[in-house]
Amino acid sequence: VRCGGGCRRGGVREAISPSIDEDAGTSVDDDDAMNGCGGASVLSSSVAMSRGGAGATTLAQRAKQRATGLRKPSAFGVVPDACARVDFAVIGSGIAGLSYALDAAEVGDVAIITKASAFEASTSYAQGGISAVVDKLDSVDEHVRDTCIAGGYLCDERAVRVMVEDSRAAVETLIERGTRFTRRESDGALHLAREGGHSRHRIVHADDMTGKEIERALLEAARAHPRITFYEHHFAMELLKTRDGESPRCTGALVVDEASGTTTAFVASSTVLACGGAGHLFPSTTNPVVSTGDGVAMAMRVGATVANMEFMQFHPTALFTGPGGATKLVANENAFLITEAVRGHGGQLYNALGERFMSRYDAREELAPRDIVARSIDSEMKRTKSNCVFLDITHVGADEIRANFPGVAAELAKRGLDMTTERIPVVPAAHYMCGGVSTNENGETSLRGLFACGEVAYTGVHGANRLASNSLLEGVVFARRAVASVTDEINALRAELPALDVDEDELRRWLEKECLALTRACATSSAFVTKDDAWERDMRAEIQRTMWNAAGIVRTTVEMEDALRKLQTLSRACEDRAAVCSGYTMGTAEISNLIVVGRLMLR
């Protein structure tokens, strides 16, 4: 069942503001403060890479020279080790962040800040494809209708139409930037697949590894651009904001170099959140390890509006690796996604008794939208008291299976499964956050100077459930619209801040005078990134158990109320941890962010 409530206006839940509910943990000063204790070891990571210059190295050297362990207090709160003035600060390196950066680089210099390697984005894990109206038998109206039906009629239809009307141009842009999509042998045209919830074949794809191909192409283009600098293994801790007044604005981000533990305040004309979702709120997720809700949590702490946070999509067919399932390759591996396209290509679902069951739940059977299929699987597992169900595509020829799903077939083969002759054990897993930081059709949030695009944003296009392959499309379309919007006012945004060539000491004085104080201290440089910290591991596991029991596929009011109280307790545990330590580690910061997002989801 869907949980939540509250008034709905045009498909958007009543927006949540950080100032309205201190007890729920959304105030800047509340017990969601991110603190923790460092471990004994540090993960090695590269320093920032700069295109065609030594700017990033110089920045790191200046930061190290100023590093003194726990940051000293001042009028600005915690003092950063270095300050840098940039035009565009992009937090995240998936399809949305890279699309934004490549367009923005035509206007000014861009800093891409990402807490792992740039390739480790949710985009890289997307298999199915990108939906687009490119076939003459398809239409914008049909795609819009399919999207709104899948979203439970809680989509913003105007935003959906904007996205769909730009879908052909989005695909053409990706091709221009080097993406190699699968084409028909007969005439060289784009090969179009069909997935659940779509009434037409409209999924443009690169075999069954579309995300990896798009990420490869965009990363190559971005790394080659002289005005784009990557800061990999750099963790965005907080957003910067001017002191509250008539018109507060976002002014950048406080960023930690994971290798050294030093901090840099990036003062930016435009700051863009493109850092994905929060799949690691749950014990089983298809998301990469970086998906800990950082963007939503940071936005909440500076007063930006969020919406529709209760709507978490659970992908119905993640590979089951529990008792009786496929072989697990790594102890704590993410759930491997079995792409929607397998069902679109004729895959059938069977329960543990060997019965097909989808016809009992929906006339569209395996081609129903994800939320319906996931709930149906959950119901069958409970009814048959089993750990999983099975996806069967063996009735399709082996050569055809290998040709269409080489990535899935190869991954399953590593685990001793042959999808051409055997059924695949599957279960639902947390997959996509349909809510997020509320934006308009141009990626603008409620806080001037702050933009959001991709999964971290709530644009209105997904409603209560995302239609398959609309996420990559949303990332491209709204990232490009955001750049077009900011270009119109970039000179005004620049004029509100110190000049781009400002002296660092002068920039530091401006921060102390004009910006809201930062009060969360980092752990010392030797302990910011911990390895296998028992406290962090146990806290994550407890959060995940709590969220799965209360905010999984089926929810009840009593369980959600109990979970809110539990997360309140866990939030205070983070605060207690800080009381005996020198600040918070990256792991504890991520835990605190997960708690913020979890409480929003439950509320």
The CATH number covering residue 407 comes to: 3.90.700.10
Q: Is residue 222 part of a domain?
A: no
Residue 40 falls inside a structural domain: no
> pTM, whole model, 2 decimals?
0.85
Structure tokens that stand for 142 in this block? 């049909």
Q: Is residue 321 part of a domain?
A: yes
Cα separation, 169 vs 289, in Å, equals 31
- Do 285 and 524 meet the contact criterion of CB atoms below 8 Å apart? no
Residues 6+ apart with CB under 8 A from 332: none
pLDDT the model gives residue 86: 97
Q: Which parts of the chain sit beneath pLDDT 50?
A: 1-14, 18-57, 62-75
Q: Please indicate, yes or no, if residue 555 is contained in any of the structural domains.
A: no
Let me know if residue 182 belongs to a domain: no
13, 85, 343, 370: which is the annotated catalytic residue? 370
- pLDDT value, residue 10: 40
What does the pLDDT read at residue 524? 59
pLDDT score of 141: 98
Q: Which residues of 162-188 are buried (b: 16+ CB within 10 A; e: fewer)?
A: bbbebbeebbebbeebebebbeeeeee
Q: Is 38:577 a contact under the CB 8 Å cutoff?
A: no
What six digits make up the tokens of 364?
Answer: 């569209």
Between strands 130-131 and 203-204, the pairing is antiparallel
> Token pair of 593, please?
């962010």
Question: Tell me, what's the pLDDT at 43?
Answer: 25
What's residue 328's pLDDT? 85
Other CB atoms within 10 Å distance of the CB of residue 537: 13
Q: Which domain holds residue 319?
A: 313-431
pLDDT tens-digit series, residues 152-211: 999 999 999 999 999 999 999 999 999 999 999 999 999 999 998 999 999 999 999 999
Beta strands in 326-371 (DSSP E): 348-350
> Parallel, antiparallel, or unpaired for β 250-257 and 450-452?
unpaired
Q: What six digits make up the tokens of 383?
A: 């009814």
Is residue 603 situated within a structural domain? no
- In terms of phi and psi (left: phi > 0; alpha: psi -120 to 50; beta: otherwise), the region of 178 is left
* Tokens describing residue 455: 């999964």
Residue 327 inside a domain? The answer is: yes
Neighbouring residues of 200: CB distance < 8 A, sequence distance ≥ 6 = 135, 137, 138, 142, 143, 194
Return d(Cα 84, Cα 386) in angstroms, integer: 55
Contacts of 511 (CB under 8 A, 6+ apart): 76, 80, 83, 240, 265, 267
Does the active-site annotation cover 370?
yes
- The token pair at 526 is 């030797």
For residue 515, what are its two tokens?
């910006």
CA distance 58 to 53: 10
The residue whose two tokens read 């900011």 is 486
At 429 the three-state DSSP class reads strand
* Total domains, the chain: 1
CB burial class (10 A; 0-12, 13-18, 19+) of residue 7?
A: exposed
Predicted local distance difference test score (pLDDT) of residue 74: 42
- At residue 583, the pLDDT reads 77
CB 464 within 8 A of CB 52: no
What's the confidence (pLDDT) of residue 9? Answer: 34
- 56 in helix, strand or coil? helix
366 in any annotated domain: yes
